[in-house]
Amino acid sequence: MKNLKFLLLALPFFFTSCEKDKIEGPSLNNLYGELTILESLNVVGDGADFSVGENIYFTASFSKQVDWQVKIKGLNSGSVKIISGKSDAINQSNSTWDGNSTLLPFFIAEDCEVELTFEMHDDTIYNQLNIQGEKEYNDESTVLITDFENGFNPNFTNFFQSTCLKKIETGDAGQSDRFLVQEGTCDWDWLIGYIDYPANHWLQQGTLNANPDNVYFNMMIKGDSTLSPTNEANSLFKLEFYEDENQDGYYDQNTEDRLEVEFDVNWNGWKMYSIKYSDLILAWNSGGNAIREPNKILKFRTLLLANPASGFAKADVDYIVWSEGSPILNQ
């Protein structure tokens, strides 16, 4: 009994070591603490050649978990890449960059400025890096239609209204040097102009994947809505895809599918437009099997349209490419 009494009295003291150092719930330091930069921003892999698969990543560390953003801007191209995250450190696992772009145009071999900023904090850290070789988007999972670097393919048949034009320009391209300008005013018809891109004249030849959920159409489009008199989007862009279901080399609207999509070009600057083939809409007068078969595309057509009463319309085009698995910018 004496031993029992001793045990009962002594037992509480064994639990004084039960206090633990871990915390319950989110850290107060992360929510309310001051931000201190423990290690400044470093670039690892500076001078990378993205065309051969090299990467760049960044390192930094902070006193608390914070929403951070690394912004890389090409000093020549104007391309922008944004990498963001929430952590108390930046490292290879959360900041690896393979040379792709968030905002077009694409990066070229150039110097870039790097800026690290934080949400809810005024701190900003600057650095620089150099790109030796720009990222190559063409690989076994892509089919390049055209990038206009060799000019306008004469096999791409087209029509533009007499008061409208298309032309190749050099400089300020979405990709590399040259791009296609499409613009004009037509006050009697919606159509500004259209271009047909037959499959047998694409820059790269190859059969697309038969699964429409796995095939993406990508096209760089430059909008300039400030040119319209009312400062609103005045350019309507339409894409039409013609399938040769019986593989006879011709398109018959009574027996074969036509798929399409249209959208307003309501932005300024270059933007990559990407759409999954299975998201295309069957045309109202499509006469085929209603099955989306990207591997049977005969040609596609781009149409630039505008309300005749609304004045000037413009939508420049560059780098048209098919990609497999994901949109081209996610490759």
- Which residues are near another protein by CB under 8 A? 1, 4-5, 8, 11-12, 15-16, 18-29, 31-34
Beta strand 57-74 with 37-44 is antiparallel
In DSSP terms, 195 is beta-bridged to: 158, 302
Tokens coding 156: 């791409």
Tokens coding 282: 């069957």
Cβ atoms 273, 219 nearer than 8 A: yes
State the nearest-atom distance from the C-beta of 38 to another protein, in Å.
Answer: 16
- By beta-carbon proximity to another protein, the closer residue of 1 and 309 is 1
- By beta-carbon proximity to another protein, the closer residue of 5 and 171 is 5
State the nearest-atom distance from the C-beta of 10 to another protein, in Å.
Answer: 10
- By beta-carbon proximity to another protein, the closer residue of 18 and 290 is 18
Peptide bond into 294 cis (omega under 30): no
Q: What is the CA radius of gyration of the chain?
A: 28
- By beta-carbon proximity to another protein, the closer residue of 23 and 290 is 23
CA 311 to chain centroid: 30
State the nearest-atom distance from the C-beta of 175 to another protein, in Å.
Answer: 43
State the nearest-atom distance from the C-beta of 5 to another protein, in Å.
Answer: 7
- By beta-carbon proximity to another protein, the closer residue of 31 and 165 is 31
- By beta-carbon proximity to another protein, the closer residue of 67 and 187 is 67
* Whole-number Å distance between alpha carbons of 267 and 264: 9
State the nearest-atom distance from the C-beta of 4 to another protein, in Å.
Answer: 7
* Whole-number Å distance between alpha carbons of 316 and 167: 9
State the nearest-atom distance from the C-beta of 26 to another protein, in Å.
Answer: 6
Give ∠ CA 173-177-182 in degrees, rounded to 5: 45
With b meaning 16 or more CB within 10 Å and e meaning fewer, what string describes 254-276? eebbbbbeeeebeeeebbbbbbb
